[in-house]
Copies of this chain bind each other. A is one copy, B any other.
Amino acid sequence: MPEETVLYVCTTCRAEGDTSETRAGARLLAALRERLPEDTAGLRVEGVECLSVCKRPCSVAVASPGRWTYVYGDLDAEASAQTILAGIGLYAGTVDGIVPWRERPEAFRKGVVARIPPSPPVKEAGRP
């Protein structure tokens, strides 16, 4: 069983021109929770007030001990939930969090905002 993966969802993101009372980020969080499979062992979905990706709403981050952390933006409040969950599934199936480029959902290839190495770094795992 892999370590727990956490999907952080920015609930402050507001889509351009969207005047809905419920912000796009909060709608994305709700859509993700609706589509979660019953067995969510190993995956936690958490709303966050701001991921500082304000220029590219909606945004999420995925993190897991020993794996690279990835941040994605340009996601759609309604249409992206299923894609995100599929992408997270691929991520959770890797050792280091790095899904081969061609296997990544297009929304992740185009929407990647940043990635951060695991701590301690994989390549230095043998060092004290």
A residues contacting B by CB (< 8 A) are: 6, 8, 46, 48, 50-53, 59, 61, 63, 65, 69-71, 112-117, 119, 121
Residue of B46, B59, B65, B121 near A114 (CB, 8 A) is B59
Residues on B with C-beta less than 8 A from A52 are 70, 112-115
Distance in angstroms from A70 CB to nearest chain B CB is 8
Known: A69-B69, A71-B71. A114 touches B114 (CB 8 A): yes
CB closest residue in chain B, given A116: B61
Query: Quick check: B71 and A114 within 8 Å, CB to CB?
Result: yes
CB closest residue in chain B, given A114: B71
Residues on B with C-beta less than 8 A from A50 are 115
Known: A46-B121, A69-B69, A121-B46. A116 touches B53 (CB 8 A): no
Query: Quick check: B53 and A119 within 8 Å, CB to CB?
Result: no
Query: Quick check: A51 and B115 within 8 Å, CB to CB?
Result: yes
